[in-house]
Structure formats: C-alpha cells, structure tokens
Structure 1
C-alpha cells in the first residue's frame, strides 16, 4: 500500500484553534452583561468597594471630630468629606485591576475574540464600572456628610445648606472619574504595578511636588492638577481659583484624554 504525502502542506504554520466566538455577533447589551458578571466575579471588587466606603466615612468622621472644638476658617462640608481623597485610591486600584487582571490571566483574549472591534469592550467596562462606583459613592458621601455634621454639632450644617448637596454629588463624581482614569491606566499599561504607581503619582504626588516650585510657577500649575481640580467638586469654599464647574470640566477632560489614549492603543496593539 502506498502512502501519499501532501508536500504542499505548510508544516510550519500554526494550527488554527476555533474558539467558537469569531462568528458570533454580540450586541452592546450582551457585552455589558458580560462585563457586569466579570466585575462581580472578582473578590477585589467587594474588598475595594468596602474599603472605599470605610475610608470615606471613617476619615470624614475622624477629621470632623478632631476639628469639632474649633472650625474657624475651615469648611464644615469639606471636613466631613475629607475621606474622599483616600477612597479614590481604593477605587482607582479597582479600576486598574478591572483591566490589568484580565491581561495578567490572558482572559482578555476571549473578550477581544468575541468582539473584534475591541472598543465596545472598553466602553462596556467603563460604563459598568462608572455606574457601580457612582451608585456606591453617592450614598456613602451622604452618610459621611451627615455623620460628620452631627459630630461637628452646632458648627455643622444641613444638607440643604449652600453648597452642601453640590459637594456631596461632587464627591461621588470625583471618585467615579478618578476610577475611570484608573481603568484607562490599566488598559494603557496592561500592568497592575505600573498602572497603580502611575495613578498614585498623578493623584497623590504631583501636588506635593509642586509645593517645591517657585511661587509663581506653583500658582500657575497647582490648580490644574487632577487632584486639585477634583478637590473643588466637594469643597464648598473655592480655594484654588477654579469654580466647581471648571474643576469638573477639567477633570472630565483628563478622563477623556486617558480613555482616548487607552482606546487608541487597544485598537493598535496585539493582545
């Protein structure tokens, strides 16, 4: 019996593995459901959200208690929301993990195979993440405000006071936008340590570093840093020359810039 060998077969070509996903058409709603499931399947989601809640309420209460005896020159609203800047760290880390974790395990390949255009995956991640973070941050900010004002006693104000409700919503918006920037950093760098370090540097180290600069240079840079632009959202007393609306607009521009960079690289790079 004669064996026939096909000499035209390219033995060096890699075998094609059919994942069963390439021919599927998945709508955006389906991608949203997938990202929702992935978000809540992570243990870090529960831990970091709980940490953010504890930090926002706990630090706000502590700062209010420390200053309850004399708040002359201080903003009682800002005191009760002092934990926001710490809560944003937990939320920023969660945003990074949402993307970098998939790259570290390789599971991102499945998502991008099912959605070859790729951008809907990033859009769905951001939509689900931002919705969850805002839904958690807003009631947490309300509770932090109410407890802080209660601790301040007669020096405290009500939620109907001028700037109070705006500051509470601003705190939730700031934490949410900062978290979305964390998601963008995770997609940009695809490395958890590097993305978290970048987030910390931008939101926690840039402002102290500018204090070392000459006064004129410092005053022209400091108000426009992401952390300071976001800070005016939950501070009823404007201290850096930016109005709450201007601060929100600037932080939103930073967020869009980070997300745009992540989207461009997501389309251009291999997985």
Structure 2
C-alpha cells in the first residue's frame, strides 16, 4: 500500500478535526471546564482578598484552580480517543483511513490544535478575573512573567490532554481510562507526599507543575521550567508511542 501524499495528510487531519469539533462532548466538556475554572478562581480570589495578597499572589491565586482544572482536559483527551469505540465508528474510520499509525497521529495533532488555544483562554480567564478583583491591592505585574506563566499553563494542559488521549487509546474504554487517570491525579498523587521530592518531581503531574508555576526560593530539589517541560513531554511521547504501536497491532 502506497504511503499517503501531503494532500492526503491534510485531508486526514481535516477529518480528525471535523470529528472532534462535531463531537458534542467536546464542547460540553470545554464549556463546563471554563465555568468550573471561573467558579474556583472566584472562590480563591475571595480568600486572597481577605488575606490582602500581593502581586505575586495574583498569579498564584489565578492559577490555583489548575489542581482541579486538568480534570476537564483529562476527560477531553479520553473522549477524543474512546468515543469512536463506543458506537463502533472506529471500523468505519479504519476502512476509510487504512494507515493506522498515521490516523492516530493526526488525531493527536488535531486534539492539540483544538486544545492549545482553548487551554490558553481558560487559564487566562482565571488570572484575568483575579487581577480585576485584586487590582486595587496589586502593584504592576511583569508582563513577561505573566506570559511565561500562561504559556506554561497552556502547555501543561495540552500535554495532559494528549497523555490522557494516549492512555484512552490504550484502554479503548472511557470508564476504565477515567478511573485510572482521575484516580492517579486526585488520589494516588496526593497520597504520595512521603515520596522524596527528588523522585516525585519526575511524576507527570509534578513535573507539569513546574512548567507554569516557578518554585519558591525555599524549595529544594526543584525543577526548572525547561526541565519540567522536558519531563512532561517525555511522558507524553512515551505513552503516545506505545498507543500507536498497540493501535497498529490490535484488532478494531
């Protein structure tokens, strides 16, 4: 079978984008995540106002919802790869696009294209809300710091979505994938506080934390922003590679 041309690559990417855009759960998940982010940001901002937080705290408070926000992007990634299995649409997809590895790769690319701008908007909305509410108590915010922080938060959410999509492709069922990922992020990881930081920092969620939130001066065994990004990307690429290998070898 001949390899697809660049035109076919564009068509495959367009098809994957179309599937994601027309999937109702995509927009329900994103809208729900946006609303949840504002609610949590409002709650943390109210607490911050009572404590008289300063400029640095504006970013901290505006992104405090990240600990809950990534749940929506985990769900988005899982639905992106598992939704086709629930109704058997995957057979139609593989009949139309016989290049399995390429088709799944284009799905991840399409997911990243959709996730990145939406993740930026959602992350920025929390910071903007906090800044508006706390502008009277804050001094000038460094634009460079804000941009780096928001881009880092966007990158973290995008990588989390792709990692979730890869695990969803491996498990092929929505509920088991949700149990595994939400169980890790909200149960296993918080309970692993006794693990030394020099080891725990290499976990996907902890490495991702350093992408968007610079460490405080009293922290030890911390990662730089670039180290956190590299480790998070490595986790994501490993699971994507494994997912593609299994996808090519297993039956639909």
> Quick check: TM above 0.5?
yes
1:112-261 equivalence runs, <5 A: 112-156=94-138, 160-161=142-143, 163-211=145-193, 213=194, 217-238=195-216, 239=219, 241-261=222-242
Report the count of equivalent residues: 246
Tell me the equivalent position of 2:38.
Answer: 57
8 Å CA contact 2:55–2:139 kept in 1: the answer is: no
| Cα pair 1:150 1:156 within 8 Å, conserved | no
Give the Cα–Cα distance (whole angstroms) in 2 for the partners of residues 146 and 157 of structure 1: 15
**C-alpha distance in structure 2 between counterparts of 1:148 and 1:157, whole Å:** 13
1:6 aligns with none
Alpha-carbon distance in structure 1 between the residues aligned to 2:125 and 2:89: 37
Q: Tell me the SS of whatever aligns to 2:152.
A: helix
Residue 235 of structure 1: how far off its partner (Å): 1.4
The verdict on how the C-alpha distance between 1:264 and 1:157 changes in structure 2, with shifts beyond 3 A counting, is: farther
The match for 1:15 is none
Gaps of 5+ in 2: none
TM superposition shift of 1:205: 2.3
Kindly indicate whether the alpha-carbon contact (under 8 Å) linking 1:149 and 1:158 is maintained by their aligned counterparts in 2: no
Distance 1:159 1:112, change over 3 A: farther
Q: Does structure 1 residue 82 correspond to structure 2 residue 64?
A: yes
For residues 37-58 of structure 1, give each alpha carbon's deviation from its aligned partner in whole angstroms, at most 9, with x where no partner exists. 2112211111101012122233
Structure-2 change in CA distance of 1:88 and 1:138 (3 Å)? same
Q: Quick check: 1:210–1:221 contact (8 Å CA) kept in 2?
A: no
Q: Larger % of helix: which?
A: 2
The answer to whether the Cα contact below 8 Å between 2:150 and 2:212 also exists between their aligned partners in 1 is: yes
Per-residue CA deviation, residues 46-75 of structure 1 (Å, 9 max, x unaligned), is: 110101212223312321221223237973
Quote the Cα distance in structure 2 between the aligned partners of 1:161 and 1:109. Answer: 49
- Over aligned residue pairs, what C-alpha RMSD do you find? 2.4
- Looking at structure 2, the residues matched to 143 and 191 of structure 1 have their Cα atoms a distance apart, in angstroms, of 32
The normalised TM-score by structure 1 is 0.83
Matches within 5 A, 1:35-114: 35-70=16-51, 71=53, 75-114=57-96
Q: Report the CA distance shift for 1:157/1:81 in structure 2 as closer, same or farther (over 3 A).
A: farther
